[in-house]
Structure 1
Amino acid sequence: MTKVVNYISEAFEELKSNVSWPAWEEVQKLTIVVAIFSVIFALATWGVDTLFAKSIGGFFNWIKS
C-alpha cells in the first residue's frame, strides 16, 4: 500500500513541477472548438445513419414487392 501512495504522491508532484499547462484563455477556446466539432460530427453521423436506414428500408421494400 505504501508503494501506491508513493506513486500517487510522485505523480502529483510531477504534474505540479514538470507539466506546462495552457493558459485559461486557450483552454476556453479549445473547449469551444471541441464542442462545435462534436456537434457537427454528431449531426453528420445522424445524417449518414438516417440515409442508410432509409436506403436499407427501401431496398427491403423493393425486395418484398
Structure 2
Amino acid sequence: MAKIVNYISEAFEELKSNVTWPEWAEVQKYTIIVAVFSIVLALVTWGVDESCAKVIAGFFKLLKP
C-alpha cells in the first residue's frame, strides 16, 4: 500500500513542478475550437446520413412493382 501512496504523491509532485500548463485564455480558445468543430462534424454526419437514407429509399421505391 505504501508503494501506491508513494507513486500517487510523486505523480502529483511531477504534475505541479514539471508540467507546463497552458494559460487560461489558450484553454478557452481551444475549447471553443473543439466545440465548433464537433458541431460542424455532427452536422456533416447528419447530412450524409439523411442523404444516404433518401438515396436508399429512392432505390427501394424503384424496385417496388
- Which residue matches 1:28? 28
**Secondary structure of the structure 2 residue equivalent to 1:21:** coil
How many residues were matched structurally? 65
- 1:1-65 equivalences under 5 Å are 1-65=1-65
The one-letter amino acid of 2:15's match is L
CA displacement at 1:56 relative to structure 2 = 1.0
| 2-structure distance, mates of 1:26, 1:63 | 55
**d(CA) in 2 for partners of 1:63, 1:36:** 41
TM-score by length of 2: 0.88
Q: What CA distance in whole angstroms lies between the structure 2 residues aligned with 1:7 and 1:60?
A: 61
Structure 1 alignment gaps of length 5 or more: none
Deviation by residue 1:5-64 (Cα, 9 ceiling, x = unmatched):
222211111111111000001011111111110100000000001001111111112112
Counterparts of 1:63 and 1:5, CA distance in 2:
68
Structure 2 SS opposite 1:46: helix
